[in-house]
Amino acid sequence: MPIPPLPQGQGTGPTPPRPRFDWRRLTRSPRGAATVGLLAAALLLWPFAGFSWIPWLVGLVALVVLRLLRLDGPLRGWDIPLACLAVVAGLMVSTGPWAWALAASIGILLAGLAQLPWWRLAAVGAVLCVVSGIGFGLSVHQARVAQEQAQVMAGEPLRVQLGETRAARVLPAILTAVQLDDADPVCRLLTPEAEAQLLGAVGVASCQDAVAELSRRSSGAAPVDDERLPQPQATADGSVVDACSTAWASAAGRELGRILIMQTDPAVQRFAVRGFAPCAG
């Protein structure tokens, strides 16, 4: 006798639940653990690389190439970890050893926090974060200082090129710029030593502020007449122009009344101010 079919919706037992994603099952396999670890390292290194997308694109291209060449079979599923490894390598190229140490320390700290009450691992991670963070901060500071020094050194040839073509033009250029409150023509003529003398005498923090103050002090002075200005006199190490009777000494003070002029480069006809000297008598 045939068995009648069961009504629709009825079965011999309850429907088995769908399998849920389990992090522990994923990390138990070597491939899963390697993938998770490499992704975590990439995410930790990413901020130190300036959030550059190039390493991630390199990893994606590597994964696509492995799949197109059908190497995922011979690699037995290790194509994804290899692509993640390419991402980490690209991020490491854009960062430094202290960034690697800080990223690893953060990873240890997070692993310890995830495994609480295994607090010892979290404590070790916290200590490593402090040490590597200090090292990373010092390395960033040193890099910034080196960059600033390189910019200063790069600016010296520019200052040489912007000097006056004749020593006799230095004083008229300074007086005209002070009357117009134009700091650039003055500041580009001063060597660091001369600038320090000017700032100390005027009592300001920058060359721009010094020129503004001198312009205020010399307000109402007669226009600059090049023909009536004193001419530079040759000395053993350059030339000197006595500006004690001009508006320069009236504004800057008699301690800076004599302007010492130097030729910045014998191969280039450019002259700048190397310092100041007090007026005689």
**Residue 154, pLDDT score:** 47
**Residue 110, pLDDT score:** 64
CB-based contacts of 227, cutoff 8 Å, min separation 6: none
- For the chain, give every domain's residue range: 26-148, 167-277
Beta strand 268-277 with 238-242 is: unpaired
Q: Which two tokens stand for residue 194?
A: 């001369």
Q: Is the pTM of this model over 0.95?
A: no
**Residue 4, pLDDT score:** 60
**Residue 155, pLDDT score:** 46
How many whole angstroms separate alpha carbon 247 and alpha carbon 180? 13
Alpha helices in the chain (DSSP H): 23-28, 30-45, 54-68, 79-93, 97-114, 119-161, 170-179, 183-187, 192-202, 207-217, 247-252
Instruction: Count CB-CB contacts under 10 A for residue 9.
Output: 5
- Residue 164 bridge partners (DSSP): 271
**Residue 109, pLDDT score:** 66
**Residue 16, pLDDT score:** 56
User: Splitting the chain (281 residues) into consecutive groups of 10 residues, what average pLDDT does each group show?
Assistant: 56 54 53 69 76 84 82 75 81 73 69 62 73 71 68 49 78 90 88 92 91 88 78 88 89 91 78 90 68
